[in-house]
Chain A
Amino acid sequence: MVILNSPISKKDVVKLKTGDTVHLNGIIVTARDVAHKYLIENRPKEYKRLLKNGVLYHCGPVVDRVGKKWIIAAAGPTTSIRQEPYTAEVIKEYGVSGIIGKGGMGDRTLNALKKYKAVYFHAIGGLAQVLAECVVDVKDVFMLKEFGSPEAMWILDVRDFPVTVTMDSHGNSLHKTMYERSGAILNSLITKGGL
């Protein structure tokens, strides 16, 4: 298992390979559909420092307000492929080092990971409670009023946030490999017949 601090240097990024399990420490920033659209259409400059070598998390958390503090009540990953139209550009423009989500992403993102040195981390889908417990602090929130709570950009400080590298900066995708391998098994099962 690899332990990494976010922001993640490009030097550390290139050491990661698909199949590595990683525990992340430090700052991650949630971003879903509306935030991605905003990052590309408005290109807000003030986000550049925040996201440089940073980690984006595809997540719309359940958040509770206790006094003046925000508490993350549930925070699992959401399906990543919806961000495929934006992600390559986001990586390029903001210098992001990591994306956390579920289900993997397409070829455009895979190419961008290779070109700009970034990785895709897969979190376990549905793991809302385990992952919420990894959040030690909510540092800030952006665009809460404008986007609403699930779509807002939450700046989270995490400890031992468990993920698996499924797309690395060398052009490998575990999703692709698995799809092809299981496809071959499927074909042989079908030719054999089973009933």
Chain B
Amino acid sequence: MNSKNLLNTFVELIRRTSSDLPVDVVSAIEKGLLTEKRDSIAHKTLQMILKNIDIAREKSLPMCQDTGTPVFYVNYPAKVSQIDIKKKINQAIKESVYKLYLRPNIVDTLTGKNLGDRTGPGYPVINFEEWKKDYIKVILMLKGGGCENVGTQYALPDSRVNAVRDLEGVRRCILDAVHKAQGRGCSPGILGVCIGGDRVSSYEESKRQLLRSLDDRNKNPVLGKLEQSIMRDANKLGIGPMGFGGRTTLLGVKIGSLCRIPPSYFVSVTYMCWAYRRRGFEYENEKVKRWLY
């Protein structure tokens, strides 16, 4: 593997992700703007967000100063070494801090010390999966801290929200999560949801749902219907951008499900802020085959 090319591709991936929001997200924000009353706080807020997105793209600078936890999803053919890829990613992060695409964003939890341009356990997060195709596919999500803090998990039945183990119960949990997140997750937000799994796999799948494009349709009609119903109802809550009031509370809802064992029934919600930074590439024969999103 030509290590220089792959390293540069990773740095470019980080630059794009941090400074240039994908087109599906931008058009969802633009659509939201059309539903808000002119001169309302909601309208002004969304306008300002769109302006911010433009400046970040033009200047190649982080659209938000919290450049988040870098979460990588890597699919690779058997001949590629995970260790090699990991090394490249860590090097690319160092370089990106230097180039101001990333803030020095890693802290030793026990000492509170900022580790600067280094990496360490838990930062970045890398999900590896071998596949049968003979090229590499990488997706990067920069997951902000403010919105990660409002993610939540319910174990059904949950009497706090009057939810039993059916889809109506799931609906109640998700709407409750949107209500509780207000003002704190930098709305308008996007929800990744998983029904089922164990505590860990459920959260993991809820985050993975955010890799779907905002305009796609759920392959499962039951979940598709649930997504639409949540979208409709959440935007009736009146929370709006930043919780200042308005119609644009959510830009999207993506729901998946995993099998479970009979004793458990989890509903996990990952909340993503409007700065929904995800980008990707496919890499073959030492060069980028295509950029994703």
Whole-angstrom CA separation of A79 from B145 in the bound complex: 9
Contacts between chains A and B (CB distance < 8 A), count: 142
Whole-angstrom distance between the Cβ of A39 and the nearest chain B Cβ: 17
Residues of A within 8 A of B23 (CB): none
Whole-angstrom CA separation of A75 from B52 in the bound complex: 11
Residues of A within 8 A of B59 (CB): 129
Whole-angstrom CA separation of A165 from B203 in the bound complex: 35
Contact with B along A133-149 (1 / 0, CB 8 A): 10000000000000011
Residues of B within 8 A of A162 (CB): 48
A127 and B175: CB pair below 8 A?
A: no
Contact among B175, B226, B238 for A181, CB-based, below 8 A: B238
A150 and B103: CB pair below 8 A?
A: yes
B238 and A78: CB pair below 8 A?
A: no
A129 and B55: CB pair below 8 A?
A: yes
Please tell me if A35 contacts chain B, counting CB pairs below 8 Å.
no
Contact with B along A72-98 (1 / 0, CB 8 A): 011110110100000000000000000
* Contacting residues of chain B (236-277) with chain A, CB-CB under 8 angstroms: 236-239, 241-245, 273-275
**Which one, B62-70, B151-159, B204-212, is touching chain A?**
B62-70
A61 and B65: CB pair below 8 A?
A: yes
Q: Residue on A with the closest CB to B50?
A: A130
Residues of A within 8 A of B184 (CB): 79, 81, 103
Whole-angstrom CA separation of A76 from B68 in the bound complex: 13
Please tell me if B118 contacts chain A, counting CB pairs below 8 Å.
no
Residues of B within 8 A of A122 (CB): 242, 244
Whole-angstrom CA separation of A150 from B114 in the bound complex: 10
Please tell me if B183 contacts chain A, counting CB pairs below 8 Å.
yes
A130 and B51: CB pair below 8 A?
A: yes
B66 and A78: CB pair below 8 A?
A: yes
* Contacting residues of chain A (169-188) with chain B, CB-CB under 8 angstroms: 174-175, 178-179, 181-183, 185-186
Whole-angstrom distance between the Cβ of A99 and the nearest chain B Cβ: 15
Contact among B45, B65, B176 for A186, CB-based, below 8 A: B176
Please tell me if A190 contacts chain B, counting CB pairs below 8 Å.
yes
**Which one, B5-13, B72-80, B166-174, is touching chain A?**
B166-174
Residues of A within 8 A of B199 (CB): none
A125 and B186: CB pair below 8 A?
A: yes
Whole-angstrom CA separation of A75 from B100 in the bound complex: 13
B64 and A185: CB pair below 8 A?
A: no
Whole-angstrom CA separation of A149 from B116 in the bound complex: 10
Question: Number of B residues contacting the other chain (C-beta, 8 Å)?
Answer: 52
Residues of B within 8 A of A21 (CB): 41, 44
Residues of B within 8 A of A81 (CB): 184
B49 and A124: CB pair below 8 A?
A: yes
Residues of A within 8 A of B100 (CB): 62, 64, 73
Residues of A within 8 A of B244 (CB): 122, 164, 166, 174, 178
* Known contacts A164-B244, A178-B243, A195-B225: A128-B62 contact under CB 8 Å: yes
Contact with A along B175-217 (1 / 0, CB 8 A): 1100100111010000000000000000000000000000000
Whole-angstrom distance between the Cβ of A16 and the nearest chain B Cβ: 15
Please tell me if B56 contacts chain A, counting CB pairs below 8 Å.
yes
Q: Residue on B with the closest CB to A60?
A: B65
Please tell me if A67 contacts chain B, counting CB pairs below 8 Å.
no
* Known contacts A126-B273, A175-B183: A73-B61 contact under CB 8 Å: yes
Please tell me if B162 contacts chain A, counting CB pairs below 8 Å.
yes
Whole-angstrom distance between the Cβ of A54 and the nearest chain B Cβ: 22
Whole-angstrom CA separation of A16 from B183 in the bound complex: 21
Contact among A128, A129, A178 for B245, CB-based, below 8 A: A178
Residues of A within 8 A of B179 (CB): 179, 182-183, 186
Most chain B CB within 10 A, of A19, A148, A164, A195, is at A195
B239 and A182: CB pair below 8 A?
A: yes
Whole-angstrom CA separation of A166 from B240 in the bound complex: 14
Known: A62-B103, A124-B241. 13 other contacts (CB 8 A): A73-B61, A73-B100, A74-B64, A74-B103, A104-B183, A124-B45, A126-B52, A126-B63, A126-B274, A126-B275, A128-B64, A175-B243, A186-B175
- Using a CB–CB distance below 8 Å, which chain A residues touch chain B? 19, 21, 59-62, 64, 73-76, 78-79, 81, 102-104, 122, 124-130, 132-133, 148-150, 162, 164, 166, 174-175, 178-179, 181-183, 185-186, 189-190, 193-195
